[in-house]
Amino acid sequence: MLKKKKYLQSGFYCHQSVEKILKAYFWFIKREEPPYSHNLLKISKESGLDRQFNEKQKRLIDLLMPLNIEARYPEEKLSIMKTLDNSKAETIFNEPGVIVKWIQELMTQ
């Protein structure tokens, strides 16, 4: 998607990967269903993980937050797409793997 300059779709899937690992962490810590939400900040706050984020991770969450709209809120697509360029899309694409791996490591300690 990124190579084809489909930045919104690429960002949407990156959002999804982080959302799923945050929900897995929530389950790991609380042993209960995570909130029914696509809001990454809400999910991380309710699990307490937000207090462990470094500045780079916080910026990533902020970058990903609006990208959950791709399929859910099509009327918002155009305004979000205008904020994305190749540089920002590459950052969004490259960073989720780091946070996913970090959270996985937290769950194995």
Q: Does residue 28 belong to any structural domain of this protein?
A: yes
Range(s) of the domain holding residue 30: 9-102
pLDDT (tens digit, 9 = 90+) per residue, 38-96? 999 999 999 999 999 999 999 999 999 988 875 556 677 778 888 888 988 898 999 99
Domain count, the chain: 1
Q: Does residue 3 belong to any structural domain of this protein?
A: no
Q: Going by C-beta distance under 8 Å and a sequence separation of 6 or more, which residues neighbour residue 16?
A: 68
Q: Does residue 88 belong to any structural domain of this protein?
A: yes
Q: Does residue 82 belong to any structural domain of this protein?
A: yes
Q: Does residue 4 belong to any structural domain of this protein?
A: no
Q: Does residue 47 belong to any structural domain of this protein?
A: yes
If 0-12 CB within 10 Å is exposed, 13-18 middle and 19+ buried, where does residue 62 land?
A: exposed
Q: Does residue 2 belong to any structural domain of this protein?
A: no
